Each structure stands twice: as C-alpha cells, then as structure tokens.
C-alpha cells in the first residue's frame, strides 16, 4: 500500500479497507432502473421508497466509529438518497473531521443546493465544511430530457453542483447504470464526465436483482451486451484519455472483449478499495452487525458466491451448467471450457433466459490470482483511493495508467 496525505494506492489483491454507511432506502427520485424498485413486492414501483425509514444519527456515528476501530480508511454514504437525512452534515463531520476517515456521498445531486443547516448557505457548503472528501454522482444521461426521463430529476441541477465543486478544486466520481435507455448514450455521458472534475467513473450493468427477478419484469430495461459493447468501448477510451479511472461492474468477463481489466463483479468487490466489506441494506440491525468487516475465506470467494454444479434447461435451448450461490448467477454451456471462469461472476439468470448464450466467448487462457484476473490487478487506476478533499486524483490516475501493461492477446 502506497500512502500520501492526499491519496492512496491500495495493494491489488488485498481486502478493501472500506465500508458503507447505509442510511435507508428513502428516496424522492424515480430512476427507472432502481435496484430497490418494487421493494417488498410492491405493485407501484417507487412507493416503498418514499416513506422508508432512515437510520438514526446515533447509530450512524457508532457505525463510523467501528469502521475506524477495525482499520477502515474510508466510507461511502448511500441510500436511497442520502441527502434526505436531516443530520447528514453532523454524521459526515463525525466520520471525516473527528475520526479522520475519508468519506464519500453517493447522490443524484438534486438536493445539494437546498439551504444549509450549519455553517454554509447550501447543504453542499455544509458537507464540505464537515470534511467530506468526495462525491459519487449518479450520472445516467448527458442531456436534460433523457436525464429527466430516466430519473425524474434534472441534469442541470446536478451539473450546477459539479461546477461548484470544479470551482473549488474538488474532484469527484460518477456512476452510470447501463440499461436499455442509457446504452446508446454512453460516449456522450463519458464526454460530459471528462469535461468536468470526474476522476473515477463506474459503469454498472443493470441486472435483474431483488424484485426485478420476477418473470418478465426486466424486459425493456436490461440491454444485451452486443448492443452495449461498442458504445461502452468508446466511452472507456474517452475517459481513459482524460485521466479517469474506469470500472465496469457486474458483467461476465467475456462480455466486452478488450475491457477485461475494467470489469469487477461480486467476486472482485471485496478487493475493490472504493467498494464495501461490510453489510448494507440492514438498517433494522444493530450497528455492530452492520459495521463489521465480512471475513473472506482463503480462496477469496464468499460462501454465498461459491460455485456448484447445475443442470437446468432455460429458454432458447440454453443449458445452465453451474451457479454461484443459489442461482444468484449462472454459467451456461460455453462457460464450461472458459479458463477465466474461476474469476467470473457468471450471468444474471434473467439475462440468459432473455438473450441466450450466443454472445459468450470463453477464454482459452487466463492468468488468475485468486478470484481476480491478473489483468485486473495490473490496472492500477482501479486501486486509487482519494483521501483528501483537494487531492488531484486526475494527475494521480494518469501516473498510474502509464504503468499499466498491455492486455495479452486473446
């Protein structure tokens, strides 16, 4: 691990020193692809999120204190929409200013201009004054109409927050959920991110998790990899040239040829320094349960993601030949001969049932290190960690990118 007061290079292959503070699912937005849609089996897509409970500030402070005690160096604050919490500034102040952790708020950025309650004119002022290190903006479109259609929010409002951070020299991250609506827009989204102060960009492949797994519910939302691949490759190139670290989350390793080093799924998340090693979505549980780092077995694969045989007929003449967990992810026939399979999540069951397995291109050879591709471990920008509000992460990422070896030919 390489460490300065401003940033850190996490040692590739080592467990992450990062936690998530989950404030609860309360949200006022209407993201069409939201993973928590239809929560609890609701008929109306967003109804359960509107009045969902929030975790108490006391519990939040205790969780952050436990993060510090067990050696974590950073934390994310997630929801729902975290900026709805009335005591968010005090929570951030405890984690960042008092405990010395690096903190990041994941947000659609719609409420950062609401009146501040502490020192500043706006909530954004209060959070920065409390020592917040970073933001992770949900950037799902590059034009106002598409953004409103996809999320119910305003891109202009999000960009106002970004411009204010740019003015102050505060760099930040971006998330883009890749679904049928956003897939054609990925290069435009990348150009927008590159023109602003984004230093890390995550493309999150929509999967039919949670209530989306109900038969047919993800139809029209989940996009085929063949449609995503060319646009995603263009977006990655744009961002890489701009000095931005790029991750592609929750896709099989063969889905996007040439981009394998950027792919990280459930197997890789415990080793990803910008992801989480504790339990999320458990606000009803006591802080000690939520804060504790999840232990990893010697092979690096959590038991709930272990591979077991499966012989199941799906649609389109596809056979599932293996599974991670209890059908959390599936392996199809072509996966049986893939050299990268031990480091691959597999495929979302709904995806295989909808699109089949004709797109899969097994690896004849693959260099592995535990549950990760060697190419992923060699992609140093993925292991950059922001520790200070004013850190120049673009320059740090550029320096790391210059050391990345070329991918071996497939």
Q: What is the mean pLDDT of the chain?
A: 94
Which fold would CATH assign to domain 2-299+373-401?
TIM Barrel (3.20.20)
Q: Which of 26, 10, 25 is nearest to 102 (CA)?
A: 10
Q: How many residues does the chain have?
A: 410
pLDDT at 193: 98
pLDDT at 4: 75
Q: Could you tell me what percent of the chain has a pLDDT over 70?
A: 98
Pairing relationship of beta strands 245-249 and 263-264 according to DSSP bridges? parallel
Domain chopping of the chain, boundaries: 2-299+373-401, 303-372
Place of tokens 């309360």: 26
Per-residue pLDDT averaged across 362-382, rounded? 95
Per-residue pLDDT averaged across 79-90, rounded? 96
pLDDT at 243: 97
Better-predicted residue by pLDDT, 214 or 359 = 359
Per-residue pLDDT averaged across 137-164, rounded? 98
pLDDT at 115: 79
pTM for the model stands at 0.96
How crowded is the C-beta side of 229, counted as CA atoms within 13 Å? Answer: 14
* DSSP class per residue in 257-317: TT-GGGEE-TTTGGG-TTS-SS--S-TTS-HHHHHSPPP--TTS--GGG-EEEEEEE-GGG
> Quick one: pLDDT band at residue 120, thresholds 50, 70, 90?
low
pLDDT at 289: 96
pLDDT at 1: 63
Residue 302 CA to residue 297 CA, distance in Å, equals: 7
Per-residue pLDDT averaged across 256-284, rounded? 92
Collapsed DSSP state (helix, strand, coil) of residue 385: strand
For 314-347, what is each residue's pLDDT tens digit? 988 899 999 999 999 999 999 999 999 999 999 9
The answer, yes or no, to whether residue 387 has pLDDT greater than 70, is yes
* Max Cα–Cα distance, the chain, nearest Å: 62
pLDDT at 114: 87
> Quick one: pLDDT band at residue 350, thresholds 50, 70, 90?
very high
> Quick one: pLDDT band at residue 119, thresholds 50, 70, 90?
low
pLDDT at 404: 87
pLDDT at 2: 65
The answer, yes or no, to whether residue 391 has pLDDT greater than 80, is yes
Residue 183 CA to residue 224 CA, distance in Å, equals: 10
> Quick one: pLDDT band at residue 217, thresholds 50, 70, 90?
confident
For 231-248, what is each residue's pLDDT tens digit? 999 999 999 999 999 999
pLDDT at 186: 98
Residue 21 CA to residue 118 CA, distance in Å, equals: 21
Question: Please, where are the H alpha helices in 134-293?
Answer: 144-151, 155-168, 186-195, 225-241, 287-291
pLDDT at 309: 94
pLDDT at 132: 98
């Amino acid at each position: 691990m390489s460490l300065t007061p401003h940033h850190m290079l996490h040692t590739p292959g080592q467990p992450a020193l990062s936690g998530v503070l989950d404030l609860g699912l309360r949200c006022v937005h209407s993201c069409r692809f939201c993973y928590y849609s239809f929560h609890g089996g609701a008929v109306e897509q967003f109804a359960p999120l509107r009045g969902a409970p929030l975790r108490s500030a006391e519990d939040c402070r205790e969780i952050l204190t436990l993060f510090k005690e067990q050696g974590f160096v950073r934390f994310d604050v997630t929801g729902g929409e975290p900026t709805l919490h009335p005591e968010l500034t005090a929570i951030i102040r405890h984690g960042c200013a008092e405990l010395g952790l690096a903190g990041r708020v994941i947000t659609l950025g719609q409420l950062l201009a609401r009146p501040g309650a502490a020192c500043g004119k706006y909530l954004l002022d209060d959070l920065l004054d409390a020592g917040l290190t970073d933001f992770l903006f949900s950037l799902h479109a590059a034009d106002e109409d598409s953004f409103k259609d996809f999320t119910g929010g305003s891109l202009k409002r999000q960009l106002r927050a970004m411009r204010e951070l740019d003015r102050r020299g505060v760099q930040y991250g971006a998330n883009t959920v890749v679904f049928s609506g956003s897939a054609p827009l990925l290069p435009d989204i990348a150009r927008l991110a590159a023109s602003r102060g984004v230093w890390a960009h995550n493309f999150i492949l929509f999967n039919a998790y949670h209530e989306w797994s109900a038969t047919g519910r993800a139809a029209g939302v989940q996009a085929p990899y063949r449609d995503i691949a060319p646009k995603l490759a263009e977006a990655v190139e744009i961002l890489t040239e701009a000095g931005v670290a790029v991750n592609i989350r929750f896709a099989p390793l063969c889905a996007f040829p040439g981009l394998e080093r950027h792919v990280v799924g459930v197997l890789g998340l415990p080793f990803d320094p910008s992801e989480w090693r504790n339990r999320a979505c458990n606000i009803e549980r006591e802080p000690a349960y939520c804060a504790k780092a999840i232990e990893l077995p010697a092979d690096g694969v959590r038991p709930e993601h272990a591979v077991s045989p499966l012989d199941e007929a799906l649609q389109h003449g596809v056979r599932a030949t293996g599974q991670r967990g209890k059908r959390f992810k599936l392996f199809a026939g072509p996966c049986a001969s893939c050299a990268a399979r031990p480091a691959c999540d597999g495929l979302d069951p709904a995806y295989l049932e909808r699109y089949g397995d004709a797109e899969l291109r097994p690896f004849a050879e693959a260099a592995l290190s535990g549950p990760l591709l060697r190419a992923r471990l060699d992609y140093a920008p993925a292991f950059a960690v922001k520790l200070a509000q004013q850190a120049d992460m673009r320059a740090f990422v550029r320096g790391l990118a210059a050391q990345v070896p070329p991918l071996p030919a497939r």
